[in-house]
Amino acid sequence: MDQRKPEYFKPALMAGAVAGILSGLPLIGNANCLCCLWIVGGAAVAVRLLAKETPSALTSGDGAIVGALTGIVAAVVNSLVSIPLRSFNLGLAQKFMDWASEMGGEMPAGLDGLFQSAAGPISPGWFLLGLFLTSALYAVFGALGGIVGISLFVKKPGRAVPPPPPPAIPPATPPGPSDAA
């Protein structure tokens, strides 16, 4: 059995970067509201990429590792993409909450305060705390997506086919004198 470690990082980087960008974009990023769809989907895609590059059979553990890495990469990319789009996203979220409030929904107490505090400049400490929390969350959801991806995209190894038996007929030409020496 091939015990070599699969190359997790490249597929995680590729799929994580795409998932992170999509998560950071206004409106499109809202798909994450359905159980981190971009992250879970990105992790499943990373498994598919890994399966293409790995000759040995992948296991659910490989899916968990590449999925968790994809989630962490996506969290970092998402945080970076969100910085320039922050004011736009906050405005959009405020409009959305106003709409939800008009539709008769009960808003959580203090949500206005949350928007006001978020509208100011973000400190490096809060940015790092947010990045850490998002990374942890996305790593868990990514691991889940990677494991499900193994179940969906990777074929289970079948029974090894035994090699054909050697030919029973001896070679037609007998060994020459040079071979006997």
Partner 1 sequence: MSADEVRRIVRTVWLVTAAGTAVWLALIVLAPWLAGRGSTGAARLIYAVFSPVCHQIPGRCFLFHGQPLAVCGRCLGIYAGFAAGLVLYRFVRGFGRPALPSARAFLLVTLPMAVDGLAGVLGLWKSPIGVRAATGFVWGTILPFFFIGGVSDALAKGKERRAARNLSNGPGKT
Q: Which residues bind partner 1 (CB under 8 A)?
A: 3, 5, 30, 32-36, 59-65, 100-101, 103-111, 113-114, 133-134, 137-138, 141, 143-144, 146-148, 150-152
Q: Which is nearer to partner 1, 66 or 172 (CB)?
A: 66
What is Dmax (Cα atoms) for the chain? 101
Q: Judged by CB, which is closer to partner 1: 61, or 157? A: 61
* Between 113 and 167, CB nearer to partner 1: 113
Kindly state the smallest distance separating residue 153's Cβ from partner 1, in Å.
9
Minimum distance of partner 1 from residue 75's CB (angstroms): 9
Nearest to 41, CA basis, from 74, 65, 10, 9? 74
Distance CA 108, CA 133 (A): 22
**Minimum CB separation from partner 1 for residue 71, in Å?**
11
CB of 7 to partner 1, least distance (A): 15
Q: Which two tokens stand for residue 133?
A: 């929390």
Q: Which helix (H) or strand (E) holds 36?
A: none
Shorter beta-carbon distance to partner 1: residue 18 or 146? 146
Residue written as token pair 């995209």: 153
Phi then psi dihedrals of residue 26, to 5 deg = -60, 145
> Which C-beta is closer to partner 1: that of 49 or that of 138?
138
Q: How far is the CB of 172 from partner 1 (least distance, A)?
A: 47
Residues 6+ apart with CB under 8 A from 58: 6, 47, 50, 51, 150, 154
DSSP 175: P
